[in-house]
Amino acid sequence: MGTETASETRDLYRSDNVVVRQVAAGDRDRWVVTFDNYGIGHGFSRPGFGESWLRSQKISAIHVMGRAEDWYQYEDLDAALAIVRATLEGASRVITYGSSMGGYAAVRFADAVGAHAALALSPQYTLDPEVAAHDRRWSQDANRIAWIKALNGPLEVKARVILAFDPWGLDGWHGRRIVEEAAPNCIRLPYTAHPVTTFLSEIGLLGDLVLRALHDVLDVDAFEREARSRKAQSGVYLGEMASLQPEHRRGLALALARRAVEASPANHHARLNLARLLLRNGAHDEALALFEGLVADSGRALTYLVDHGQALAVAGRPGEARAIAAEVIGQADNVAHLHGWAAHMCWLNGDTADARTHILRAVELDPSNSAYMKAAVDYHLGRRAAGATSSVRQTPLLSFARWLGRRAFVRNAAKALMRRTPAQAATAAP
């Protein structure tokens, strides 16, 4: 395909679901095909995953962009991927690249675009509830999405799969499933959290990993040793180690968390872990100062607003926590777990009517989540004890409702009712 001096951007495919955007740069013999990470943004008036860095390196790329966090479960995805494959026919080297949701796609669709290799960072094997119901990190989306079985069956990948992930926790389950079926070259990075993209960027190896994969010079064992040798300078790694310490090692946990911030003062993950540990140890003022700094430095990002609100509630300032809850919902009215959290903040502040409104919204958005249903029952049938900072004061009616809730036939009937679509509900109405 040759080498050109100017960069060229054009859409190769566009529908309501998917846009395939080509950004051709200097080297047009080697191409990176990227897929969106979760939270990259809705719609298509935005950059593709890694676009800025790839442009800076004069690497030609095609960005496969989905309309939202749908794990690319689109009926027209095959047509979009076929366009990518046809466009890159004759290229000397093609790799797919993605993180988390994008990593899922990088593995699943590598062959469809004719890639020689797939570079997947902390990918999911699938989030189809019939296969991975135990992973509830994105439960609202997982239960909302109409999973296309043809896109989520056993993996059959001819491309070389390069998998970098933290083998502990839920990412470990996904990694093991991919290993069983795709025999990838693995870079295991324990205690580096989700996604490992953040850790690799922090230690200065993320770009190197992409370049080595693109130029087919990656020695995964050597790369893993190199990455692990730098973990002591990582705020992500030290922060994770701090957060995983048992209760009787609080001193060690705090020491590790402070080391994490010293090693990487600008690292949000490290500062967040330290703030949470300080809060747990009763150092409310120091913790709140850290949370306030994170909120300011992140441009009032939802993740840090929620932690700040929670800290204010723990510190006995429920009115301020309630105000933050209102700000959070103002930014994201369609996220179930945020409504569940806001309901709790309202309850602590004595705003019981608002608490009930928020928890019903959470149930509406994610009816499969039994915790929201339980909280809805508690908030509607229980009472708030004066000065309470935690759970609901029981009433006779709440006691009876909880007893009923432990009966299997009642639980199953409630689940079936909540899973009905609006059309089904309308049909069943008298």
- The band of 397, judged by pLDDT with boundaries at 50, 70 and 90, is low
Q: What percent of the chain has pLDDT over 90?
A: 80
Residue 302: which CATH number? 1.25.40.10
Strand 8-14 versus strand 185-188 pairing type? unpaired
Total Cβ atoms within 10 A of residue 307: 20
Q: Are residues 223 and 82 in the same domain?
A: yes
Which whole number is the average pLDDT over 306-320? 96
Given this model, what pLDDT does residue 403 score?
A: 60
Given this model, what pLDDT does residue 304 score?
A: 97
Residue 404 lies in a domain: yes
Residue 320 lies in a domain: no
Given this model, what pLDDT does residue 150 score?
A: 93
Residue 216: which CATH number? 3.40.50.1820
Task: Say if residues 340 and 358 touch (Cβ distance below 8 Å).
Answer: yes
More confident residue, 404 or 156: 156
Q: Are residues 14 and 134 in the same domain?
A: yes
Given this model, what pLDDT does residue 421 score?
A: 41
Given this model, what pLDDT does residue 42 score?
A: 83
Last residue of a domain, one of 315, 347, 368: 315
Residue 17 lies in a domain: yes
Given this model, what pLDDT does residue 39 score?
A: 87
Residue 324 lies in a domain: no
CA distance 144 to 254: 39
Given this model, what pLDDT does residue 380 score?
A: 83
Q: Are residues 307 and 347 in the same domain?
A: no
Given this model, what pLDDT does residue 406 score?
A: 61
Residue 92 lies in a domain: yes
Task: Say if residues 84 and 64 touch (Cβ distance below 8 Å).
Answer: yes
Model pTM above 0.95: no
Q: Are residues 415 and 282 in the same domain?
A: no
For the four alpha carbons of 316, 323, 348 and 402, in that order, the dihedral sign comes to negative
Last residue of a domain, one of 230, 263, 281: 230
Is pLDDT of 351 > 50?
A: yes
How do residues 46-105 score in pLDDT, each as one tens digit?
999 999 999 999 999 999 999 999 999 999 999 999 999 999 999 999 999 999 999 999
Residue 13 lies in a domain: yes
CA distance 321 to 330: 14
Q: What is the domain extent for residue 94?
A: 8-230
Q: Are residues 16 and 161 in the same domain?
A: yes
Q: Are residues 56 and 202 in the same domain?
A: yes
- The band of 404, judged by pLDDT with boundaries at 50, 70 and 90, is low
Last residue of a domain, one of 315, 347, 378: 315
Residue 2 lies in a domain: no
First-to-final CA distance of the chain: 66
Torsion over CA of 370, 373, 377 and 378, rounded to 10 degrees? 60
Given this model, what pLDDT does residue 337 score?
A: 96
Q: Are residues 54 and 193 in the same domain?
A: yes
CA distance 133 to 409: 21
Is pLDDT of 388 > 50?
A: no
Q: Are residues 53 and 157 in the same domain?
A: yes
Instruction: Give me the count of residues in the chain.
Output: 430
Residue 217 lies in a domain: yes
Q: Are residues 18 and 147 in the same domain?
A: yes
Q: What percent of the chain has pLDDT over 70?
A: 88
How do residues 244-298 score in pLDDT, each as one tens digit?
999 999 999 999 999 999 999 999 999 999 999 999 999 999 999 999 999 999 9
Range from 170-184, 246-260, 403-417 carrying the lowest mean pLDDT? 403-417
How do residues 181-197 score in pLDDT, each as one tens digit?
998 899 999 999 999 99
Task: Say if residues 224 and 187 touch (Cβ distance below 8 Å).
Answer: yes
Q: Are residues 280 and 404 in the same domain?
A: no
Q: Are residues 111 and 258 in the same domain?
A: no
- As for how many domains the chain has, the answer is 3
Mean pLDDT of the chain, nearest integer: 90
CA distance 254 to 179: 35
Q: Are residues 355 and 256 in the same domain?
A: no
Is pLDDT of 390 > 90?
A: no
- H helix intervals, 156-283: 170-182, 196-202, 206-214, 220-229, 235-243, 250-263, 268-280
